[in-house]
Amino acid sequence: MAYKFKRQIFSFLDLIRFTKIVPNRKKMLEEGSSAPLPATDDVTETMKVLHPGHMKGTLLEKKEVAPGFYSFLFAIDKPLFFESGSYVTLGHEVGTSYVTRPYAIASSPFDALREKRIELMIKKAGFFSTYMIEEAKVADVFDIHGPFGDFSHESLRDHDDVVALAGGSGIAPFISMARSLHEGSSSGYRLHIFYGTKTLKDIACKDELDALSKEPNIDVTYVLEEKTEGYPQGYIDRKILAEKAPKTFTAFISGPNQMIAFAREELAALGLEAKDIIAEPNPIRDRPSEGKSYKLTVHIQDKVYEVEAKDTETVLVALERAAIKAPSACRAGGCGYCHARLIKGKFTIWGGDKRRLADAKFGYFHPCVSFPDSDLEIEVPPAK
């Protein structure tokens, strides 16, 4: 015989209790406060400072910090607190295109939080950087989005000694880290910067870096390609690291692709485990190709566009060239921010497939690293 539950002496009392469930809840709901429902809460407000998302950045100052390498100081319209090593995207119309590019934040976290200012450092590289350097003017307003990235010291993963390997414009995130340690917005690790440039005058912010290296938890070594009195000559290699770096450390690499590849080899030769080497890939550039052009059909919400896609350019660039505001952040295939749906057509991924397993299965792709190999029909979410 099946078990019959009974808690009260008479089981009908259990049934009566059951009939009270609804009246009890009704009473509870009627007794709620009539004060207005909360429009926000503390966690949400703090979240907005950590992830303000889309900001307006007004250019306050632009100056050349090394030949062809410029600092841009922006006033942002919201307070921001970030972890040094993070990047933002900077967006603006350029001619008939709307483009965004990722740049590491060079300024300090407290500056963004208390003064609502951020500094980016831009090296002349191509389409957008040339626009910024040659045409952007003080008081121009830009779209700044972020912060993004996984290029920050993680005390649970990393050693207490961080060796920062910077090549050229790759110095920006490390300047932020040094400034952050100096002002006390981060702590718990020692920063050893190895900054490689061609010549002495290519070193950006040298006076400030020299001053920061007087801090007990910061030191800076300049490595110059050109033979220069008083400086190690060559590249940042195993020899100089063995000589000047601490015994165990976590390496952060930031710089051009060839520099990252070289540094990885040197660090592996020193016996570093893969987990102790952190590098963020650079945006994918053009692919050398036959110069074919395809038809790209783009669905955004209930709108359809037909644009041209060159096989030398990523699908994302094809969208931007057509002035379609498509989402993007890292432009290197890893952040997933440009996630789009393939309806028809073929493409090739450059720089490694970093999609989620199921994305590949259901035909989603990252336009920022995908080059068209046929006419394509895709669905893209609107950029906000």
Partner 1 sequence: MNKYDAVVIGAGNGGLVAAIRLLQSGAKVLLVERHNLPGGFATSFRRGRFEFEASLHELNDFGKDGGDVRDLFDSLGVTNKIEWTSIPEAYHVICPNEKLDATMPFGIKAFIDKMEEYVPGSRKSMERFFALASEIREAQAYTNAQNGNVDSSYMVKHFGNYVRTGSYSVKEVLETLKMPKKAQDILSAYWCYLGAKLSDMSFTHYASMVIRYIDRGVMMPKGRSHEISLAMADRIYELGGEIWFNTGAKKILTGKEGAVCGVLLDDGRTIETKHVVADIEPTVVYGRMMDNVPEKIVKATNARKLAGRGFSIFLGLNKSPDELGIESHNYFLYDTSDSDKQYELMKGLDNAAQATVCLNRAYPDCSPKGTTIMYFTTLYMDDAWGKVKPEDYYKTKEDVARRLIERFEEYTGAHLMGNIEQISIATPMTYARYGGHPEGGIYGYESKYDDGLTARLLMMKDDKMTKGLRFCGGSAMRLSGYSSAYFSGDISGRQTAGDIKRGE
Ligand X SMILES: Cc1cc2nc3c(=O)[nH]c(=O)nc-3n(C[C@H](O)[C@H](O)[C@H](O)COP(=O)(O)OP(=O)(O)OC[C@H]3O[C@@H](n4cnc5c(N)ncnc54)[C@H](O)[C@@H]3O)c2cc1C
- Quick note: the x/- pattern for partner 1 over 47-86, rule CB under 8 A, is x-xxx---------------------------x-x-x---
Compute the least distance from the CB of residue 333 to ligand FES, in Å.
5
Number of residues near partner 1 (by CB under 8 A): 77
Among the listed residues 71, 197, 282, 370, the single contact to ligand X using CB under 6 A: 282
**Is the distance from CB of 30 to CB of 22 less than 8 angstroms?**
no
Q: Which of 9, 10, 43, 134 forms a contact with partner 1 (CB under 8 A)? A: 43
Binding residues for partner 1 restricted to 324-383, rule: CB under 8 A:
327, 334, 336-337, 339, 354-359, 361-362, 364, 381-383
Give the footprint of partner 1 on residues 217-256 (CB under 8 A): none
Rule CB under 6 A: which of 316-375 touch ligand X? 317, 320-321, 330, 332
Distances 366 to 314, 374, 379 between C-alpha atoms, Å: 10, 16, 12
As a whole number of angstroms, the distance between CA 112 and CA 146 comes to 12
368 binds ligand FES per the rule CB under 6 A:
yes
Task: Report the residue from 109, 149, 196, 327 that binds ligand X according to the rule CB under 6 A.
Answer: 149
359 binding partner (options ligand X, ligand FES, partner 1, none; Cβ < 5 to 8 Å by kind): partner 1
Residue 250, contacted partner among ligand FES, ligand X, partner 1, none, CB below 5-8 A by kind: none
Does 101 help bind partner 1 (rule: CB under 8 A)?
no
Which among 25, 159, 173 has a CA at the least distance from the CA of 86?
A: 173
Tokens 């440039």, residue? 197
Region binding ligand X by CB under 6 A among candidate stretches 17-25, 57-65, 216-224, 312-320: 312-320
- Of 330, 342, 376, 383, the residue at the interface with ligand FES (CB under 6 A) is 330
Q: How far is the CB of 335 from partner 1 (least distance, A)?
A: 9
Binding at 303: pick from ligand X, ligand FES, partner 1, none (beta carbon under 5-8 Å per type): none
Q: Closest separation between CB of residue 245 and ligand X, Å?
A: 23
**Residue of 78, 43, 45, 72 lying closest to 59 (CA atoms):** 72
Q: Which residues bind ligand X (CB under 6 A)?
A: 87, 95, 97, 99, 101-104, 121-123, 125-129, 149, 169, 172, 280, 282-283, 285-286, 313, 317, 320-321, 330, 332
